[in-house]
A and B are shown apart, each in its own frame.
Chain A
Amino acid sequence: MEAHKFTEKALSEWMRGRGPDSDIVISSRVRIARNLDNLPFPMLATNQQSKEILERLSQVVQVKGMKEIGNFSEVLLADMSELDKRVLVEKHLISPNLANESRNGAVIISDNEAASIMINEEDHLRIQCLYPGFQLEEAWDLASRIDDVFEEQVDYAFDEARGYLTSCPTNVGTGIRASVMIHLPALVLTQQMNRLLPAITQVGLAVRGIYGEGSESIGNLFQISNQITLGQSEKEIIDNLHSVARQIIEHEKAAREKIMLESPIRIKDRIRRSFGILTHAEVMDSKEASQRLSDVRLGLDLGLIDHVSSDVLNELIVMSQTGFLQQVYGRKLNTEERDIYRAALIRDKLSKS
């Protein structure tokens, strides 16, 4: 199977249409980590062992229970170009870890790209489900169903006291990492994030940039996820994240209202200025693109801009990334070329929508 099928379009099928609260929550994600019993974790697995892991897990895609969930295709990392890998990372379909460090790694992706199953990442098996908008429970339900199908076919490393055993002690127990990607321009603009961030970390959640661990926030997008995986049930973990995210959404809404009330002209100017630059600029670096696109998204949510669709904005977030740009233009681009092509792509997309 070629990776091409999944690298062609910037926007996964699942991202089309709007989910609940999608004016603030871009997407909800749940991933669970599992390992096979009696085989070393990928870090210490020999080439032969990691092949065996790949084989055993790949077979599960063929069983009936899996086909009832959806149509899945498997792509081996070895068959992917560096560019393919980069695009899949930018689309959040694979992790940077799988792209760069895995041995006999593979990814199994559902046709609508809502589910991606990584093999031989840090753990033998990582099941990830992505939904648009604020739909954590739905994402968990799907991940858990896929988990059940695997569990019928293979023996998991599971301990009564410690739960699902994982390579990293930070994942042991439930093996679950639930997260929401959330757009908080008004909280950033009113400088409330500085107060909010420590509060979020105090309730056992982490805040990161949109490409995971160690990445910085771009375009006012933040990823909020659970840290604790042991000693809480999956439901408690999801509920906790859900209620904290709900509060952040309310804060963001209040901040948006405040801005509109106190400085409507200033915010309108900022948003329309950004729209003007995006539709006319000849050179655009990725940082500026993210910030301007964030402004336009805010404008759309506030009803100040109405001739752009949110699909196009979601699409541009992915398309203006380095890997995807190179994919669109079919070759490696240097920084200057990238900035020129990025500007052209954004002009084109925004004028058509």
Chain B
Amino acid sequence: MVCQECGKKPATLHFTKIVNGEKTEFHICESCAREKGELIPGTANGFSIHSLLSGLLDFDPTGKGSSTSTKAQTIRCDECGLTYSQFSKIGRFGCSSCYKHFEDRLDPLFKRVHGNTKHIGKIPKRRGGSIQNKRELEELKKQLQYRIIHEEFEDAAQIRDQIRELEKRISAG
């Protein structure tokens, strides 16, 4: 897609502006976006993935309007001191503990950025065993539910045995 402003460079910024219910779509390149800085709030010095993200971070997951978000802005990471308000401005965490301290606000953000909230990829080997077992257990329990709902009781009994076996292994460490 070519930038709708200059018609030359490829459009790298795509966004929809809604003012009084009126929707306008924008597809522009970075240099035009910089020139037209007023289009997007807070992008006077050029925009980056982080400033785009901050739009998502201001998103209020409770849906109760702006009154609740003031409270959220005061959440602070005990470890590095970053506040949620700072995080939503710069779009970056300060340390790994921020993930714990901002936990309540992260699901909607990750859902929007990644479409998911839970990691299913690689696991560090030294910590791998237990996490792998837990994942397997969750998967088996899901399967068990499915079998029971579909009245496939023989299969269900088998899975139940597998779950017991796995639980024994987990508690044995």
Contacts and interface: CB of A to CB of B under 8 A. Distances in A.
A165 interface: yes
Contacts, number: 137
A167 interface: yes
Interface string B107-123: 00110011111111111
A230 B124 CA distance: 16
Given A152-B126, A230-B110, A232-B120, A170 B49 contact: yes
Contacts of A229: 114
A152 to B, nearest CB: 7
Contacts of B109: 169
Contact of A168 (B82, B92, B125): B92
Interface in A169-186: 169-170, 172-174, 176
**Interface size grouping (class) on chain A:** 35 or more
Interface in A200-245: 201, 204, 207-209, 213-214, 216-217, 228-234, 237
B102 to A, nearest CB: 10
Q: For chain A, what secondary structure do more than half of its interface residues adopt (helix, strand, loop), or is it mixed?
A: loop
**Interface size grouping (class) on chain B:** 35 or more
A207 B27 CA distance: 14
A72 interface: no
A198 B124 CA distance: 36
A286 B169 CA distance: 63
B116 A230 contact: yes
A228 B114 CA distance: 5
Q: For chain B, what secondary structure do more than half of its interface residues adopt (helix, strand, loop), or is it mixed?
A: loop
B156 interface: no
A173 B50 contact: no
A279 interface: no
A37 B49 contact: no
Nearest to B93: A167
B30 interface: yes
A236 to B, nearest CB: 8
A37 B97 CA distance: 9
B115 A228 contact: yes
B150 interface: no
A270 B79 CA distance: 61
B94 interface: yes
A232 B121 contact: yes
Given A40-B94, A151-B125, A168-B91, A162 B119 contact: yes
A52 interface: no
B124 A156 contact: yes
Contact of B120 (A151, A169, A176, A231): A231
A281 interface: no
Interface of B: 1-2, 9-10, 12, 14, 29-30, 48-50, 53, 79-80, 82, 90-96, 99, 106, 109-110, 113-127, 131, 134
Interface of A: 35, 37-41, 43-44, 122, 144, 147-148, 151-152, 156-170, 172-174, 176, 193-194, 197-198, 201, 204, 207-209, 213-214, 216-217, 228-234, 237
13 contacts: A38-B96, A40-B79, A41-B92, A41-B94, A44-B95, A163-B121, A165-B96, A169-B93, A194-B1, A198-B1, A230-B113, A230-B117, A232-B116
What 6 A-B pairs have minimum CB-CB distances, sorted nearest first? A231-B116, A163-B119, A157-B96, A174-B121, A230-B114, A40-B95
Given A174-B122, A234-B122, 7 more contacts: A40-B80, A169-B53, A173-B119, A201-B14, A209-B10, A231-B120, A232-B116
